[in-house]
Structure 1
Amino acid sequence: MAFTRHLLLLLAAAATITATAATDDTAPSPPPSPTPWPDLFHAVLFTNLTNYSMASTGPPLRLTDLYYDWPRRRNLNLVRHQLSPDPLYDVEWNNGTTFYFDSSSCRVERFDVGVLPPTWLSGGAAAEYMGRCVTGGIDCHVWGKAGFIVYYEEVATGRPVRWDFIDVTGIQQFVMSYEVGVVLEDSQWQAPAHCFPDEENEQDTKEEEVADGLEAARLLKKLADAAIAF
């Protein structure tokens, strides 16, 4: 009798363990969280706007060297249009000031937000997980953010792969290379003298227009509104 009671207790315990395991197996796992950007990195981005006539007044094909420097609260996009010998600099500072310049012209814009923090994708209005897909042969997690950007991150490494703007511009940017810890020398961040005209030439300089093609940078600025303030 004691043996039977003991056996029943063991069977009941085993049934409880099995039921618990089954419950755990069927419980949905939480969606993955986006990987924060490293504090320092250099990425080469390819942008193709040939299919989007509304997206740009500048040449549609371009390569951009993106230098992200969160410790110094600065971000630089060095934009090279197809066959253009004169690169376009977009230097962003955390006080909201951005300098757009090339070898002969300059424009200064001021925004209400600064540089995107490393947690911009998960901070503030958090990104919505959209699932997994393969793009360019790379298995990616995909998130949507703020109703106008879709962000692709490599499943195996957490590296950014591409991001698409789902507004009227239709801009798509593809990450061609990605180096963590790379720092651009300070001299490359300095706006040239023609960004700081004297009073005599100030009016003429204001009327100069830098060749555009910085729509993606401006759209990323909008994301800072939804990111955590640092």
Structure 2
Amino acid sequence: MSISGKSITISPLYLLLAAFSLCFTFSIASKSGDPIPAPWPEQFHSILFMNNTKGNLQIVDLWYDFPNGRNFNIIQNQLGKKLYDLEWDNHTSFYYTLDANKECRVMHFPVGLLRPNWLQDGKYLGQRYRDGFLCNVWEKVDFIWYYEDVVTKRPVYWAFYTGMIAHVMTFEVGRVLADPNWQAPVYCFKEANKEEISSPVSLVTDDNVSISKLMGAAMDVSLLL
């Protein structure tokens, strides 16, 4: 997906949701006695340091608010644009800027928010050190490798099969963004901004689609496998 011809990145939670969706097709059971990953708190704030598949660096300000059916990613690209990625459990996502250009795209997906227990049935891989922390590691359907601190049970690091990686810099349980900040700007509601994804398969087979939209389409196609 792009705003003014530039590719934008589907949020890390959409990539995680793709892995969660695949579990309906593939059953991966952990061995008896293996550690169980901690469910995500229903509300938290986290700052992520991201390196995407092209080596571009991003700081992602993530607000997860499952009880209210919403998730917000504020994405600062290195020496570049700040993108606001607002996701709702009614399957609607707004991608916009708050600069003078007033750019906005509206996307509709056949899946909602990532559930707190999305990592259940992940394959336990043992303990490894990552970013200086001893972590329990799980893999989900060859899509994501999830590192959780052995002591605090907080997430430390995510690695996606695409090559995208995320370092978890902060993780504040129970912190909630104030309601006025969840309102997309009025220019997002123009008819021209609406873009419905009706056929995920057609997006996956489109050679001209950006990698970000391809990942979003792959998430939807996983439900059809």
Give the C-alpha shift of residue 83 in structure 1. Answer: 2.4
Q: Which residue of 2 aligns with 1:188?
A: 181
In angstroms, what is the RMSD of aligned CA positions? Answer: 2.8
Instruction: Determine the structure 2 residue equivalent to 1:23.
Output: none
Any idea what SS the aligned residue of 2:157 has?
strand
Q: CA deviation at 1:147?
A: 2.0
1:76 aligns with 2:79: no
Unpaired segments of 5 or more residues in structure 1? 1-27, 226-230
Partner residue of 1:114 out of 102, 106, 112: 112
Larger relative contact order (C-alpha < 8 A, sep ≥ 6)? 2
| TM-score of the superposed pair, with normalisation by structure 2 | 0.70
Contact (CA 8 Å) 1:171, 1:216: kept in 2 or not? no
Is 2:51 the partner of 1:48? yes
- Aligned CA distance change for structure 1 residues 219 and 80 (closer, same or farther; 3 Å): farther
8 Å Cα contact 2:104-2:187 kept in structure 1: yes
Per-residue CA distance 1:86-118 (angstroms, 9 max, x = gap): 521111111111111112111111111111111
Residue 82 of structure 1: CA displacement?
1.3
Query: Matches of residues 124-139 of structure 1 in structure 2 within 5 Å?
Result: 126-139=121-134
- Partners of 1:219 and 1:153 in 2: CA distance: 28
Cα distance in 2 between the residues matched to 1:157 and 1:216: 35
Q: How far apart are residue 46 of structure 1 and its match? A: 0.3
Distance 2:146 2:71 in 1: 19
- Structure 1 residue 153: Cα displacement: 0.3
Distance between the aligned counterparts of 2:168 and 2:65, measured in 1?
A: 17
Kindly provide the CA deviation profile for residues 155-205 of structure 1, in whole angstroms up to 9, marking residues without a partner as x. 001000011101xx31001100111111001111111011012xxxx44x5
Question: Max radius of gyration: which structure?
Answer: 1
User: What's 1:105 paired with?
Assistant: 103
Count of aligned pairs? 176
State the alpha-carbon separation in 1 of the partners of residues 159 and 104 from structure 2: 28
Structural mapping, 1:121-160, within 5 Å: 121-122=119-120, 126-160=121-155
Aligned to 2:34: 31
Partners of 1:121 and 1:171 in 2: how far apart?
18
- Cα shift readout 1:42-82 (whole Å, capped 9, x = no counterpart): 00000123xx43x7xxxx11100110001101111010111
Between Structure 1 and Structure 2, the one with more strand by share is: 2
SS in structure 2 opposite 1:131?
A: strand
Q: Give the one of 94, 102, 114 matched to 2:89.
A: 94
Query: 2:167 & 2:42 partners in 1: Cα distance?
Result: 20
**Percent identity of equivalent pairs:** 45
What's the TM-score, normalizing by structure 1?
0.69
Other-structure match for 1:64: 60
Q: Give the Å deviation of 1:215.
A: 7.2
Shift in CA distance, 47/176, structure 1 to aligned 2, threshold 3 Å: same
Give, in whole Å, the separation in 2 of the partners of 1:156 and 1:217.
33
Query: Which residue in the other structure is 1:25 paired with?
Result: none
Runs of 4 or more consecutive aligned structure 1 residues displaced over 3 Å after TM superposition: 212-222
Q: Which amino acid aligns with 2:66?
A: W
